[in-house]
Amino acid sequence: MEDKTKFFKILSDPNRLRILKMLQIKPLCVCEITDVLELAPSTVSQHLKLLKEYGFIIEEKDGKWVNYEIHPNPTDKRISALLSSLDFWIADEAAIQSDKEKVQRADRISLCAK
């Protein structure tokens, strides 16, 4: 049972849910995620570390950026099932809608230059 509860523990934090929803839109770097969530980069990095550790996301180097994205083929298929149901649970939340708009306007070149 413990191995199953870890997935729900990861999903129990609103900011991690917001990150997952943002990454369903497009791959993002830490600067972009930090800007949308309005959290410290260290806090965002901790959330990303957990999401990566449990197989929800992957990171990929792209020049000077490290992009985070939804894991396209997680080894545990329960992850795909959980991610596919996020819209059912939280798509209509105001924070999710606001994040979606911010992600679409995010300009990593100006954000990462700060």
CA nearest 36: which of 95, 92, 93?
Answer: 95
CA distances from 74 to 4, 6, 63, 103 (A): 15, 15, 25, 24
Tokens matching residue 87: 């819209």
Domains of the chain in sequence order: 2-112 (1.10.10.10)
Q: Which residues face 79 on adjacent strands? A: none
H-helix or E-strand spanning residue 95? helix 94-105
Tokens matching residue 30: 């830490």
Q: Which DSSP letter does residue 16 get?
A: H
**pLDDT of res. 87:** 85
**pLDDT of res. 39:** 95
In this predicted structure, the answer to whether residue 65 has a pLDDT above a threshold of 90 is no
Bin 4: left if φ > 0, else alpha if -120 < ψ < 50, else beta: alpha
Q: Could you read off the pLDDT of 73-85 as tens digits, one per residue?
A: 998 888 898 898 9
CA nearest 75: which of 48, 51, 56, 50?
Answer: 56
CA nearest 74: which of 54, 49, 102?
Answer: 54
Q: Could you read off the pLDDT of 17-63 as tens digits, one per residue?
A: 999 999 999 999 999 999 999 999 999 999 999 999 999 999 999 88
**pLDDT of res. 110:** 80
Q: Could you read off the pLDDT of 90-114 as tens digits, one per residue?
A: 888 899 999 999 999 888 888 776 6
Q: Position 74: which residue type? A: P
